[in-house]
Structure 1
Amino acid sequence: MLSGTAFALAAGLMWGLVFVAPLMLPAYPPALLAVGRYLAFGLLCLPLALLDRQDLRALRAADWWEAAKLSAIGNFLYYLCLAAAIQRAGNPLVSVIIGTLPVVIAVASNRRNAQRDGHLPWGRLAPSLAAIGLGIACVNHTEAAGLAADETGRYLQGAAIALVALAAWTWYPIRNADWLRAHPDRNPRAWATAQGLVTLPMSLLGLLALLALQALGLPGVPADFALPLGPQPLAFVGLMLAIGLFASWGGTLCWNEASQRLPTTLVGQLIVFETLAALAYGYALRGAAPSGLALLGIGLLVAGVVWALRVKPVATGA
């Protein structure tokens, strides 16, 4: 339990970095941010693959296909929507929407994986879920109160796109945990590297698609945008390499380690660490401390996680 929680915390701290990248590069289209992030991830995984070459050779075609699906939905679709939502509605709103993941994943996995992981009694789980939900509501109320009247449409658009990101990131940890728990003999580090390797051809295809969209004058990339590196090439490349290494590979590795140690329902609640990290980074970038109500919400999120860790799964009969 302790080591699994520590790995989940490390993953959350690294994943929180991806919430500030769209704010640091506001002129960059979300699709280019997604392509750039996972192109860097794929390139970084090439030398890492040498360390895990024996484990990677043991993967079958079905395993590589599963890695491709996980990357397409949990990486590309998720980050495309996340970046678009953050640029429209801001970091705190999107952070708290994604912060509902502990509740969403718990509801989705508690019945679905009861035979494998045991069942967390809803009555004992309810206080932690209520605390997490109330905490998210407090943070969201604080952000909505400062919204200007002419920003409502863009704000709501960002919220809607964030819901798509929420759906993608709900599917990813459950499906990824299914594979890891079904293959306890496999190396989680090699599985993280495998997901990185499959992003490389996907990213190259994505970049070609963006070039084609711009050449044809179709939506996606402004006609005057300087592809492929944009107006801040050094900042873009450096940031993409940083989040490719830490958020993509490092975060996935730590999450895989946590997923092999903890029931899926508890792992799902520990995604709250990502929310806390994203909020902390966002407030730091904004240069402003959270309000009292926001601090109360963050405290409730932490309390919900601590409470959830005390709940033990109950074995379910066949």
Structure 2
Amino acid sequence: MFAGVLFALAAGLMWGLIFVGPEIVPDYPGALQSAGRYVAFGLIALPLAWFDRRRLRQLSKADWAEATRLTLIGNLLYYWCLASAIQRTGAPVSTMIIGTLPVVISVSANLLYGREEGRLAWRSLAPALLLIAAGLVCVNAAELRNAPSFDGWRYCTGIALAVVAVACWTWYPLRNARWLRANPDKKPATWATAQGIVTLPLALIAWLLVTIMLGSQQPDFVLPFGPRPELFLSLMLVIGLLCSWLGTRCWNEACQRLPTVIVGPLIVFEILAGLAYSFMLRQSWPPLLTLCGIGCLLTGVIVAMRIKPQPKIGAINN
């Protein structure tokens, strides 16, 4: 349990970088950032796949198909929606919506998989979820005080994209955790590398389509790497390595050690890291309301981790 939490913490610290990436290069479309990140992820996975080729050969066609589905929805679609939402609504509003993930994932996991993996009693889980929800409200209320103005259409499309991102990243960690727990003989690092391998051709196709679209719709945009290629390529490599491969590996390690209903609240580490990095980028300290929200978030996670799952249905029957 303790090792699983540490791995989830490490993943969250790395995943938090995705919230500041769109703010560092705001002149780059979200679709181009998504394709660039996962091209970098795929290129990083290639040498790793060579060293891990024996274990990769043990994956079945069904496993590769599952890796492809996870990549399309949890990687490419999720990051495109998130980056685009941040650019349309600003980081505070998008963070408010993405910040509901710990609650949404916990409730979804308890509803879908509680019977098989041991259900957390709603009466016991409710205080933790309320603490997390209160923390998210405090953090985002503080952020929205200084939210920039927005036009109606751009704001509404940003909200819609953020909601789709929540749906993608509710589905991805639950599905990914289920596969890992159903295949305890498979190494989490191998599974992360497999997702990187299937990501590369998909990301290259996405990059080609995005550049064609930009060439026709934004002829002034410098192709193929935009107006600041050194910064953009460096950022994509860092995010591809830390957020995509290493972060995914740490998350996979956590998923094999923790019940699915416990994994959900640990997504909060990503939100906390994203907030910390955002304030570092702004070179300012968080206000008191934000600090109160962070305290609620951490307390909620601790409370959730102390809950003991009820026995599995099958175990009771036996």
TM-score (normalised: structure 2): 0.95
State whether residues 37 and 237 of structure 2, in contact with CA within 8 Å, keep that contact through their aligned partners in structure 1: yes
Residue matched to 1:223: 219
State whether residues 89 and 154 of structure 2, in contact with CA within 8 Å, keep that contact through their aligned partners in structure 1: yes
Residue matched to 1:179: 179
Identical-residue share of aligned pairs (%): 55
Where structure 1 has 5 or more consecutive residues not aligned to the other structure, the ranges are none
Q: Structure 1, residues 89-114: CA drift from partner, whole Å, max 9, x if none?
A: 22233223212111101111112112
1: CA distance, partners of 2:269 / 2:281: 18
* Corresponding letter in the other structure for 1:41: F
* Corresponding letter in the other structure for 2:282: R
Residue matched to 2:58: 58
Aligned match for 2:289, one of 273, 281, 293: 293
2: CA distance, partners of 1:148 / 1:29: 19
Residue matched to 2:308: 312
Task: Map 1:1-318 onto structure 2 (within 5 A).
Answer: 1-150=1-150, 154-215=154-215, 217-218=216-217, 222-318=218-314
2: CA distance, partners of 1:164 / 1:60: 30
Instruction: Classify the secondary structure of the residue corresponding to 1:282.
Output: helix
TM-score (normalised: structure 1): 0.95
Q: Structure 1, residues 49-78: CA drift from partner, whole Å, max 9, x if none?
A: 122111100111111110000000000010
Q: Number of residue pairs matched?
A: 314
1: CA distance, partners of 2:34 / 2:94: 17
State whether residues 92 and 279 of structure 1, in contact with CA within 8 Å, keep that contact through their aligned partners in structure 2: no
2: CA distance, partners of 1:46 / 1:65: 18
2: CA distance, partners of 1:186 / 1:85: 35
* Corresponding letter in the other structure for 2:114: A
2: CA distance, partners of 1:168 / 1:128: 23
State whether residues 90 and 148 of structure 2, in contact with CA within 8 Å, keep that contact through their aligned partners in structure 1: no
State whether residues 120 and 310 of structure 2, in contact with CA within 8 Å, keep that contact through their aligned partners in structure 1: yes
* Corresponding letter in the other structure for 1:207: W
Q: Structure 1, residues 165-192: CA drift from partner, whole Å, max 9, x if none?
A: 1110000000101111111111110000
Q: Structure 1, residues 244-297: CA drift from partner, whole Å, max 9, x if none?
A: 000000110000000000011110110000000000001111122111111111
Q: 1:85 to 1:305 in 2, by over 3 A?
A: same
Q: 1:152 to 1:146 in 2, by over 3 A?
A: farther
Q: 1:152 to 1:143 in 2, by over 3 A?
A: farther
Q: Structure 1, residues 124-177: CA drift from partner, whole Å, max 9, x if none?
A: 000000000011111121222223555566444423321111110000000101
Where structure 2 has 5 or more consecutive residues not aligned to the other structure, the ranges are none
* Corresponding letter in the other structure for 2:284: A
